Amino acid sequence: MYDPREYVLTNATMVLPDLVVENGWVAVADGKIVETGEGTAPERGFDLEGDYLVPGLVELHTDHLESHFSPRPHVRWHALASVMAYDAQIAAAGITTVFDSLRAGSDVDVKTIGADLLTLADAIDAARATGHLRVDHRTHIRCEIATPDVIEHLEAFTARYPVHLMSLMDHTPGQRQFQDLETWRKFYLRNKGVTEAQAERMISGRLELHRLHAKDNRARLIEIAEEFGAVLASHDDATAAHAEEAAENGVALAEFPTTIAAAEALRDAGIDVMMGGPNIVRGGSHSGNVAAEELARAGLLDILSSDYVPASLLMSAFELPRRAANIDLPTAIRTVTLTPAEATGLDDRGAIAPGLRADLVRVKLADTTPIVRQVWREGRRVS
């Protein structure tokens, strides 16, 4: 047995930022990586049997806490139990830093958990205070700009908790992801179980909310992000004009651009482009938008997120080199480790290097599918 406070992991296929090291080793002490090497380790350690060793994954956008808290329409589960189940699933996926995506702004047509922002935040804080969280939880507030109460929700949150990442979302029919009204109709008729007549009423109501609130809310949200030092993200950019607006707003990260033209304009503006891991694994967008692998082949993909399937983060990183010949494994792993860490100002993690946190994941391939075998956060085994 090894001392969990000080140990060496040996015989690893170690993925560094720029290369893969066969028969590599990592020495860990006091929660940090103190030394790395290739070949014979300076002392006997824990044999990884040739499995891959990658940095702990950094997840910037996951909706999955909502799936645990609201497992059925109109159902709210026990908040702390939801957080603990979610945390365990995140750790088991190899994620050691997660930005919990919490929604601000109520959906007036379809019941959502936007109004439950503080309930979930309190549960996360309670789990953290008692030392029960496996991974490092940070905050990503997803702000629906065309809602009447988004500012109220956000200001109540910031009175008690920090905001590390804030995204500006607009799911109004005719905007961004739903520029084509027919696409919006199909999505809601299929996924929300509403009739044609109900859909038309929803469209009219949402267009009115957008007219009343979107412009002023966007301006105030940008002010709040600046006040609290939150990294600002855009969401579902579809056009070059959206990219220009993002740049003017001080956006650093673009979530899920829907077209290659938008991605090109965002990159030209110096904004990191993030796409969903499920998009890579499935081979395309579930809603008919641009495929993430197309952006990868064009050199326009910086960061991957698991979006709605936590396990997709690691799967997509290992799948990416098979989908895009211009991307090798170290480059792919950076999209889920070092680059998202850097994009959010976390300079103490994201790579296997001396001085950084010992956030590490042991991965074994089952044919081509990566299987998480062990996870360490700051040197402590968490999965």
14 shares a domain with 105: no
Count the domains in the chain.
Answer: 2
At what angle are helices 150-158 and 117-129 packed, to 10 degrees? 20
Asked whether the beta carbons of 313 and 332 are under 8 A apart, the reply is no
374 shares a domain with 261: no
Model pLDDT for residues 145-159, shown as the tens digit of each residue: 999 999 999 999 999
**pLDDT of 3:** 47
66 shares a domain with 49: no
Structure letter (DSSP) for residue 357: B
Query: Residue 18 maps to which CATH number?
Result: 2.30.40.10
Model pLDDT for residues 118-141, shown as the tens digit of each residue: 999 999 999 999 999 999 999 999
Tokens coding 187: 């999505």
Q: Is residue 196 part of a domain?
A: no
10 shares a domain with 99: no
Query: Residue 310 maps to which CATH number?
Result: 3.20.20.140
223 shares a domain with 146: yes
Q: Give strand pairing partners of 97.
A: 58, 136
Beta strands in 263-382 (DSSP E): 272-276, 303-305, 360-366, 369-377, 380-381
Checking DSSP bridges between strand 231-235 and strand 136-144, what pairing results, if any? Answer: unpaired
Nearest one of 59, 21, 40, 120 to 343, comparing CA atoms: 59
**Cα–Cα distance, 333 to 55 (Å, whole number):** 8
**pLDDT of 198:** 74
Q: Which residues contact 146 (CB under 8 A, 6 or more apart)?
A: 170, 171, 172, 206, 209, 210, 213, 214, 217
Structure letter (DSSP) for residue 256: -
**pLDDT of 63:** 87
**pLDDT of 288:** 73
Q: Is residue 181 part of a domain?
A: no
Q: Is residue 101 part of a domain?
A: yes
Q: Is residue 199 part of a domain?
A: no
66 shares a domain with 35: no
Name the residue with tokens 């507030």.
141
317 shares a domain with 250: yes
166 shares a domain with 45: no
**Cα–Cα distance, 117 to 106 (Å, whole number):** 10
Checking DSSP bridges between strand 165-169 and strand 136-144, what pairing results, if any? Answer: parallel
Name the residue with tokens 């956008």.
61
Q: Is residue 256 part of a domain?
A: yes
Domain that holds residue 62: 56-171+215-345
239 shares a domain with 381: no
Q: Is residue 193 part of a domain?
A: no
Which residues in the chain land under pLDDT 50? 1-3
